[in-house]
Amino acid sequence: MKKPLLGLSMMPEADFVSAIVPLLQSNSVEVLEWSFDTFYDAEEPEWLSGLLNFYAGNERLIGHGVYYSLFDARWNDRQENWLQKLKEECKRRKYNHITEHFGFMNTENFHQGVPLPVPLLPKTLQIGKDRLRRLQDAVEIPVGVENLAFSFSIDDVREQGHFLDMLVEDIDGFLILDLHNIYCQACNFQIDMQEIINLYPLGKVREIHLSGGSWQESAYGRRPIRRDTHDESIPDEILKILPKVLSQCYNLEYIIIERLGNTLNNDTEKQIFFSDFNHVKEIIEVSVYPDIIRQDWKRTEKIYSEPVEDLLLHEEQTRLTKLLFDGNNVESVKNGKFLYFKPENWDEEMIMTAQQIIRKWNPY
């Protein structure tokens, strides 16, 4: 197996661009990942278009969606428009593949949304498969899904890998295995990282994400909560486990380091960032890879049918989002009457964390 290509998640902020110039000049960034939908309603600066087009022209550009929302239970014009813009983007610029986040963003202002977990049930799987199929029908390249950092319960942590495996099977899709997302779950539910990783279909992992995050103090005086904030160095625990993961993911093609664009604003942070990048590069060079030929992607036939919807689930998604946003006490959330969601089984600490995340991204 060939070594995976090492790259960065591209950010448009001046601090980030200034920081990565040495890496670009030394040709160390072998692939760029671009969150194309963050500029759906904005004009790209000329320098950014030129850089993205350069990587696209050399077949070294991959696309990462943020706002499609795979599990919204009601199909809407926003998702239809999102797919139409994606078609236009893929005609304008060549991507090697397209990915999207697991979860749903049922908020009034979806541009400030954050993906929340869905109940891992046959109905939600049916909706997710439908949305993913429509995404695949819009493009002629492979489509994948990224695992989610946030979970309400330990059962969700243990079941997400199998659910994602079933989710992508109909389109011969793949997974992004975000190791910091796994690290968050391991810390927040006190499970070994490798134990969680082994629950994922590692043969379907085509891309790995690496990043850092931050700690949030416990509201109950218990362990601190790990957040996927992309604003710190990659934890040593992730770097230590990376070689083992590389030996297990025999269809892996890309490793992407993520860092928010406004967090590299001094020399110390830049040096930490460079150190992380070079450390990952060294790991890639010395790791042992499985002697297996990568599986070729098979394009599935397009479908033309009505979107799968569930208005009760949509109502519950909307009501849960509002409950969390309004800052209701934890007991009010746990005692909420739902058919699909089971808040009575959720970790109190994670309910409060969800409230803080939603209010951060929806301040008004």
Q: Tell me the pLDDT of the chain averaged across its residues.
A: 92
Q: How far apart are CA 71 and CA 163, in angstroms?
A: 13
Q: Quick check: is 92 in a domain? A: yes
Q: How far is CA 345 from the centre of its chain?
A: 25
pLDDT in the model for residue 245: 97
State the pLDDT confidence band at 259, using cuts at 50, 70 and 90: very high
The CATH number of the domain where 128 resides is what? 3.20.20.150
pTM here is 0.95
Q: 262 lies in which domain range?
A: 5-308
State the pLDDT confidence band at 11, using cuts at 50, 70 and 90: very high
Contact 125, 163 (CB under 8 A): yes
Q: Quick check: is 338 in a domain? A: no
Please report the beta strands in 187-247, taking only residues with DSSP state E, as ranges in sequence order.
205-210, 214-216, 225-227
Tens of pLDDT, residues 47-97: 999 999 999 999 999 999 999 999 999 999 999 999 999 999 999 999 999
Q: How far apart are CA 180 and CA 228, in angstroms?
A: 7
Q: Quick check: is 287 in a domain? A: yes
CA distances from 38 to 19, 42, 82, 167 (A): 21, 8, 11, 25
Q: Quick check: is 28 in a domain? A: yes
Q: How far apart are CA 338 and CA 159, in angstroms?
A: 20
Mean per-residue pLDDT, 1-13:
94
Domains contained in the chain, number: 1
Q: Highest mean pLDDT: which of 175-179, 265-269, 296-300?
A: 175-179
Asked whether residue 159 carries a pLDDT value surpassing 70, the answer given is yes
Angle in degrees, CA 44, 103, 163, rounded to 5 = 130
Q: Quick check: is 135 in a domain? A: yes
State the pLDDT confidence band at 135, using cuts at 50, 70 and 90: very high
Asked whether residue 111 carries a pLDDT value surpassing 60, the answer given is no
Tens of pLDDT, residues 301-345: 887 789 999 999 999 999 998 889 887 789 999 999 999 999 999
